[in-house]
C-alpha cells in the first residue's frame, strides 16, 4: 500500500479542544500529514498554532465554548469556516470534560455540563459539518470516544453515559452517511496522560493499580493517538465505517 494514501495535502481539518493534550497532538499530526487546521477552543491555542504554521500549513482559531454554544452558533461557525477556508474535509471531535463523584451524590449541574460538551455539542457540530460533507460527497469524521464507551468506570456516571453515546452515534451516523462518501469513526483511548486524568495520576492507590492492568505497562501519551487519527482521516480508511478503534495499550483485552 502506498504511503500516499495517508497524505492529507490540500485538506482542511477542524479539531475541537486543540490547545493541549490529545487535541493538540492530533492537530499537529494532521498538519504533518499535510492538512490545514481550524481549531475550535475557548482558549487560544497559541502553541498548537505555532507548531502547525511551522510546518507550512494554514491555521485559524475560532473561540468556541462547547459548554455554552447554541446549535445555531455551532452551525454558523462551520459555515464561516467553509467560507474562509474554501472547504472542510475532516472533523475531529476531541473536546471533552469529566466530573467525578459517587453516583448517589452526582449533581444535575455536573451531569448536564458533561453531557453538553461530550455528547450534545459533539452531535450538533457533527450535524453542521455533515451537511457540508454530504453536499461535497466526501469527508472524514472522527470522534474521540473512550474505553469507557465499553466499560462502566468508577465515579464517572455522566462521562461513561456520554462516551457510550459517542460510540452509538458513530455507528448510527455511519449507517446514514457511508453510502454518501462520508466516513464516521471513533478512536477509543485508554488511560492517557492529560489534564482530564490529573486526579487519577495523583492518586497514590489508583494510578499504580491502573498501570498494573495495562498490558503495555504504561499510560499513553497524546502522541500515541496520532497514527490512528491520521489513518481515519486519510484515504487509507475509505472502507472503514462505524468503527470504534481502541488505542488502549491492550486494556480492554486484559
Q: Report the candidate in 157, 222, 225 with the shortest Cα–Cα distance to residue 186.
A: 225
Helix or strand run (H / E) with residue 142: strand 139-144
Give the residue carrying C-alpha cell 496522560.
193
Cα-Cα-Cα-Cα dihedral of 224, 18, 120, 79, to 10°? -130
Task: Give pairs for 48-56: CB < 8 Å, separation 24+.
Answer: 48/18, 48/19, 48/20, 48/23, 48/24, 51/24, 52/27, 52/28, 55/28, 55/31
Catalytic residue, chosen from 106, 159, 191, 239, is: 159
CA–CA distance, 188 with 183 (Å, rounded to integer)? 16
For 21, phi and psi rounded to 5 degrees? Answer: 60, -140
Q: Is 239 a catalytic residue?
A: no
> Which of 173, 169, 213 minimizes the C-alpha distance to 191?
213
Length of the chain in terms of residues written: 254
Catalytic residues: 159
Amino acid at each position: 500500500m502506498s504511503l500516499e494514501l495517508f497524505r492529507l495535502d490540500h485538506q482542511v481539518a477542524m479539531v475541537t479542544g486543540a490547545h493541549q493534550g490529545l487535541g493538540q497532538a492530533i492537530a499537529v499530526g494532521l498538519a504533518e500529514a499535510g492538512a490545514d487546521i481550524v481549531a475550535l477552543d475557548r482558549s487560544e491555542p497559541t502553541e498548537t498554532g505555532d507548531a502547525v504554521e511551522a510546518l507550512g500549513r494554514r491555521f485559524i482559531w475560532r473561540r468556541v465554548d462547547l459548554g455554552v454554544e447554541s446549535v445555531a452558533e455551532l452551525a454558523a461557525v462551520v459555515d464561516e469556516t467553509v467560507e474562509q477556508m474554501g472547504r472542510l474535509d475532516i472533523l475531529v471531535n476531541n473536546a471533552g470534560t469529566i466530573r467525578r463523584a459517587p453516583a448517589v451524590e452526582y449533581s444535575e449541574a455536573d451531569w448536564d455540563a458533561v453531557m453538553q460538551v461530550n455528547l450534545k455539542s459533539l452531535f450538533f457540530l457533527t450535524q453542521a459539518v455533515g451537511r457540508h460533507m454530504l453536499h461535497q460527497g466526501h469527508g472524514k469524521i472522527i470522534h474521540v470516544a473512550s474505553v469507557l464507551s465499553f466499560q462502566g468506570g468508577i465515579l464517572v456516571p455522566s462521562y461513561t453515559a456520554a462516551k457510550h453515546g459517542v460510540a452509538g452515534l458513530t455507528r448510527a451516523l455511519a449507517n446514514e452517511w457511508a453510502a454518501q462518501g462520508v466516513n464516521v469513526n471513533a478512536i477509543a483511548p485508554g488511560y492517557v496522560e492529560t489534564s482530564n486524568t490529573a486526579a487519577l495520576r495523583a492518586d497514590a492507590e489508583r494510578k499504580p493499580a491502573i498501570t498494573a492492568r495495562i498490558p503495555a505497562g504504561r499510560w499513553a501519551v497524546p502522541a500515541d493517538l496520532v497514527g490512528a487519527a491520521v489513518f481515519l482521516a486519510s484515504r487509507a480508511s475509505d472502507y472503514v465505517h462505524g468503527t470504534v478503534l481502541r488505542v488502549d495499550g491492550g486494556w480492554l483485552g486484559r
